[in-house]
């Protein structure tokens, strides 16, 4: 196809890093192959994509759409009005931008935008990151031209003839960590004579992981470890106050870590939730991982994500209900077994799909040509 043609690609969705970063990775991969193209994002007003997408160098428009709350709230009363307004705005964006194709990555904004595009006969591609498909993607998939997934056996959610197993696209800077460790140690203020535990609860944070670190951080420091700890936006001030009450010198707290390539390079062992993006990134990193899946997700899909790796000897599992009070022992047992450390790192890399973004771009090229 013509790499010089100024294609127009619309990408919609967001809400969490698990949706936003794959979307940006797809945009970057498309731009690499088709530099004359124009790419526009559509997100939900007030959500993190409205900040993260411009930081990545792309334009974004916002919709007032929001999700339904599980409990009866005032916000739920406004839901139909926000949805109707978002559908109207999305239709206007599609009409004005005239995209060659539209990509939906999940999240509140995906629904109105892909619905508007499908009504106008514009080809759409759905990218589902998780092993359990969300409601929006299941509805949109009926009229989508292609559905790119990261896990096998997704036929229970989507038409089999539309499914393409591509993996989840990740940030390019983590594809090669060699030679970055010294820079990473300096950047985060870490010391070279201590093993580093990297704790990741996602961009918003995970209460159980934070409570587990609080419970065991003194013991882990006494055992000779240092902790690089991303607490997440919701918990940072609380964790900061708790940490300031201690006299610990080797616990490094961050609300959010932007330089994830350096964080991964510094880590000797990683403790993480098992969201789709985290699992995909960690398979590329090739370090020993302890997954603590969130139980508060649809169909417990984070546990399913984690078990797909545990069953291949590629990660360890610590259940959310057991994490507080057992993190120190889990880390200690692992790090005292060099053979297991090596095996976990080697096995998780075997499950990596480093070319996921390019594979999705290839499917997108089929739609626009």
Model confidence at 19, pLDDT cuts 50, 70, 90, reads confident
Distance between CA 6 and CA 290 in Å, rounded? 44
Whether 303 has a binding-site annotation, put simply, is no
Dihedral in degrees, nearest 10, Cα atoms 166, 167, 173, 178 = -110
Question: What's the CATH number for 173-350?
Answer: 3.40.50.2000
Which one is predicted more confidently, 79 or 137? 137
Q: Is 24 annotated as a binding residue?
A: no
**Was 171 annotated as part of a binding site?**
yes
277 is in an annotated binding site: yes
pLDDT of 12 > 60? The answer is yes
The confidence score (pLDDT) of residue 369 equals: 84
Topology alike, domains 8-168+355-368 and 173-350: yes
**Does position 31 have pLDDT exceeding 60, yes or no?**
yes
Per residue in 54-78, pLDDT (tens digit) is: 999 999 999 998 765 555 555 655 6
Q: Integer distance in angstroms from the first to the last C-alpha of the chain?
A: 7
pLDDT at 17 over 80: no
Q: What topology does CATH give the domain 8-168+355-368? A: Rossmann fold (3.40.50)
Question: Is 65 marked as a binding-site residue?
Answer: no
Supply the pLDDT for residue 172.
81
The token pair that represents 129 in the structure block: 């990151």
66 close to 82: Cβ distance less than 8 angstroms: yes
74 marked as part of a ligand binding site:
no
Instruction: Determine phi and psi for 121, rounding to 5 degrees.
Output: 80, 15
280 annotated as belonging to a binding site for a ligand: yes
CB count within 10 Å of CB 12 equals: 34
Q: In whole angstroms, how large is the CA radius of gyration of the chain?
A: 21
- When mean pLDDT is compared across 76-80, 85-89, 159-163, 227-231, the lowest value belongs to 76-80
User: pLDDT value at position 18?
Assistant: 81
- Domain parsing of the chain, residue ranges: 8-168+355-368, 173-350
Quote the pLDDT of residue 77.
Answer: 59
Task: Check the annotation: does 203 bind a ligand.
Answer: yes
Q: Would you say 251 is a known binding-site residue?
A: no
- Is there a contact between 248 and 229 (Cβ–Cβ < 8 Å)? no
Q: Which helix (H) or strand (E) holds 101?
A: strand 101-104
Please tell me whether 257 is known to bind a ligand.
yes
User: Is 118 annotated in some ligand binding site?
Assistant: no
Q: Is 18 annotated as a binding residue?
A: yes
Higher pLDDT, 27 or 173: 27
Please check if 23 is assigned to a binding site. Answer: no
pLDDT of residue 233: 85
Phi, psi torsion values for 146, nearest 5 degrees: -150, 150
CA separation (Å) from 308 to 158, 312, 351? Answer: 20, 7, 10
Has residue 286 got a pLDDT over 80? Answer: yes
Full-model pTM? 0.84
Q: pLDDT class for 175, splitting at 50, 70, 90?
A: confident
Phi-psi region of 57 (alpha: psi -120 to 50; beta: other; left: phi over 0): left
């Amino acid at each position: 196809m013509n790499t010089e043609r100024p294609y127009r690609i619309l990408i919609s969705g967001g809400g969490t890093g698990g949706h936003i970063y794959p979307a940006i990775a797809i945009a970057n991969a498309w731009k690499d192959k088709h530099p004359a193209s124009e790419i526009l994002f559509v997100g939900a007003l007030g959500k993190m994509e409205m900040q993260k997408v411009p930081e990545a160098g792309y334009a974004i428009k916002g919709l007032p759409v929001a999700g339904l709350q599980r409990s009866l709230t005032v916000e739920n009363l406004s839901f139909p009005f926000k949805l109707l307004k978002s559908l109207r705005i999305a239709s206007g964006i599609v009409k004005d931008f005239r995209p060659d194709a539209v990509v939906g990555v999940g999240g509140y904004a995906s629904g109105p935008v892909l619905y508007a595009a499908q009504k106008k006969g514009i080809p759409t591609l759905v990218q589902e990151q998780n092993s359990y498909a969300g409601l929006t993607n299941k509805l949109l998939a009926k009229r989508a031209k292609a559905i790119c997934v990261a896990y096998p056996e997704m036929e229970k959610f989507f038409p089999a003839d539309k499914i393409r197993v591509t993996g989840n696209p990740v940030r390019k800077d983590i594809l090669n960590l060699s030679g970055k460790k010294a820079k990473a140690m300096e950047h985060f203020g870490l010391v070279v004579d201590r093993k580093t535990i990297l704790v990741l609860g996602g961009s918003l944070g995970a209460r159980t992981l934070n409570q587990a670190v609080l419970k065991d951080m003194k013991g882990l420091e006494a055992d000779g470890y240092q902790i690089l700890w991303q607490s997440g936006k919701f918990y940072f001030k609380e964790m900061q106050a708790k940490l300031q009450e201690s006299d610990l010198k080797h616990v490094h707290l961050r609300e959010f870590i932007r330089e994830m390539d350096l964080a991964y390079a510094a880590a000797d062992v990683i403790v993480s939730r098992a969201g789709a993006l985290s699992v995909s990134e960690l398979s590329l990193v090739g370090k020993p991982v302890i997954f603590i899946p969130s139980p508060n997700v649809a169909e417990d899909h984070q546990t399913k994500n984690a078990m797909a790796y545990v069953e291949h000897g590629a990660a360890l599992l610590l259940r959310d209900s057991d994490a507080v009070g057992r993190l120190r022992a889990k880390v200690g047992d692992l790090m005292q077994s060099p053979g297991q450390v090596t095996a976990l790192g080697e096995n998780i890399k075997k499950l990596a799909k480093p070319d996921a973004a390019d594979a999705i771009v290839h499917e997108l090229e089929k739609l626009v040509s």
